[in-house]
């Protein structure tokens, strides 16, 4: 009989927390508050404290979080924002939505995060910000990025959509730049049961501006000082996130154990396992291996009932949405090579050791047969 290993068991999160989640649902439904109410206010305080910052502002999704940060910084037409060439396209879209131009640079071949050595070459008189992505749950090299940003007077905006709880030199993602954008998409380490996002920051001015932007440009009802948006984290999702936030560190530790098992078991196979920088404590949003025969390996795993995903098969510069930039194949050799080799293995707080061992045995069998 074929063992089935899902990439991520989202239903298990509900089953483990059923009583608390059901109680949160009843609390919201009975309250009569569904938008900008007490659940959101409480979650914002709790998540800000978790990230070690003064402010959290709940918004509709992670893309909006990044976009509103750029708007709050008055970044727009004629400006440039440096982004990694290997990331989910939302990073680039946030820049595009602000009216600015995304300027991609290649990634570090070991960590797969943005390469600081390429950033300075991309800076022009139009550059306003650097947007590092803490890809797959590991922080980018923030010391090197911050040094360059200070030298040129640039803002550093964290794309922390995959980094709930990760640390860099003991400090959590979300408090390492002028502001950070989080996503609470259901598959995230801290996921809602629908869309959601947040901005975290230590800046009072940034927090005030983002709160206004998320709510039609209004700080007082029916008074609109700026052009804003309708992008608010709703009460029900905030209540659910409060429940899951209390389990986040424990569930991240479960991911760490699975990642350790994978790394130990795949040693000597020829598979390239993730590289962890000494300064970083990743939370393993994804466990991403590299294999020259990636597509064949994925097919082999699927035949054994193991679901895998590719994060990400096509870099943004080769997507139709950004064909106008004319960044043709070969522009970012590391990112493009990585996109042909990366494969994300199943990982999550509800993946048991037996299933993880089935994954590694199947990968090893593939390596031996090839």
Q: Assess contact for 162 and 286: CB atoms under 8 A.
A: yes
Mean pLDDT of the chain: 97
Cα separation, 37 vs 366, whole angstroms: 53
pLDDT surpassing 70 at residue 49 = yes
Give the tens place of pLDDT for each residue, 133-161: 999 999 999 999 999 999 999 999 999 99
pLDDT at position 2 is 65
10-245 has CATH 3.40.640.10 classification: yes
pLDDT, tens digit (0-9, with 9 covering 90-100), for 224-253: 999 999 999 999 999 999 999 999 999 999
Sign of CA dihedral 9, 13, 16, 21: negative
Tokens 């002028």 appear where? 178
For residue range 310-324, what is the model confidence (pLDDT) as tens digits?
999 999 999 999 999
pLDDT of residue 370: 73
State yes or no: pLDDT of 1 exceeds 60.
Answer: no
Domains 10-245 and 248-369 belong to one CATH topology = no
In the chain, the percentage of residues whose pLDDT exceeds 70 is 99
List, for residues 285-318, the tens digit of each pLDDT value: 999 999 999 999 999 999 999 999 999 999 999 9
How deeply is 217 buried, as exposed, middle or buried, from its count of CB atoms within 10 A (0-12, 13-18, 19+)?
A: middle
Residues above pLDDT 90, as percent of the chain: 97
- pTM, whole model, 2 decimals? 0.97
Residue 186 has pLDDT above 90, yes or no: yes
- Largest Cα–Cα distance of the chain, in whole Å? 68
Region 248-369: CATH code: 3.90.1150.10
| Domain range annotation of the chain | 10-245, 248-369
349 falls in which pLDDT band (50, 70, 90)? Answer: very high
Q: Do the bridges between strand 155-159 and strand 127-130 make them parallel or antiparallel, or are there none, so unpaired?
A: parallel
Please state the rounded mean pLDDT for residues 20-36.
97
Each residue's pLDDT tens digit, 100-116? 999 999 999 999 999 99
């Amino acid at each position: 009989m074929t063992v089935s290993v899902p990439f991520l068991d989202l239903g298990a999160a509900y089953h483990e927390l059923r009583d608390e989640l059901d109680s949160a649902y009843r609390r919201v439904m009975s309250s009569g508050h569904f938008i900008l109410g007490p659940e959101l206010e409480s979650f914002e305080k709790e998540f800000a404290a978790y990230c070690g910052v003064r402010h959290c502002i709940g918004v509709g999704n992670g893309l909006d979080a990044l976009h509103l940060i750029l708007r709050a910084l008055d970044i727009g037409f004629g400006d440039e924002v440096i982004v990694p060439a290997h990331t989910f396209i939302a990073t680039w879209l946030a820049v595009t939505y602000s009216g600015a131009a995304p300027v991609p640079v290649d990634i570090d071949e070991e960590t797969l995060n943005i390469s600081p050595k390429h950033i300075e070459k991309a800076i022009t008189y139009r550059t306003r910000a650097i947007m590092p992505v803490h890809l797959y749950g590991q922080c980018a090299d923030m010391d090197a990025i911050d040094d360059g940003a200070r030298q040129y007077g640039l803002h550093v905006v964290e794309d922390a959509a995959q980094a709930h709880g990760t640390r860099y030199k003991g400090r959590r993602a979300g408090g390492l730049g002028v502001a950070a954008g989080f996503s609470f998409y259901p598959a995230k380490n801290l996921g809602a049961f629908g869309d959601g996002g947040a901005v975290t920051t230590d800046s009072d001015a940034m927090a005030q501006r983002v709160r206004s932007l998320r709510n039609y440009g209004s700080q007082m009802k029916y008074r609109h000082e700026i052009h804003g948006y309708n992008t608010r984290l709703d009460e029900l999702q905030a209540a659910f996130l409060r429940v899951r936030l209390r389990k986040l560190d424990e569930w991240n530790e479960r991911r760490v154990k699975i990642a350790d098992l994978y790394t130990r078991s795949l040693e000597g196979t020829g598979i390239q396992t993730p590289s962890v920088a000494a300064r970083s404590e990743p939370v393993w949003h994804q466990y991403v291996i590299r294999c020259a025969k990636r597509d064949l390996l994925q097919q082999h795993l699927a035949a054994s009932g193991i679901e895998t995903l590719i994060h990400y098969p096509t870099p943004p510069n080769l997507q139709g949405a950004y064909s106008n930039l004319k960044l043709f194949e070969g522009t970012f050799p590391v990112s493009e090579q990585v996109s042909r080799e990366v494969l994300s293995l199943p990982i999550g707080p509800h993946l048991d050791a037996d299933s993880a061992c089935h994954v590694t045995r199947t990968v090893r069998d593939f390596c031996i047969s090839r």
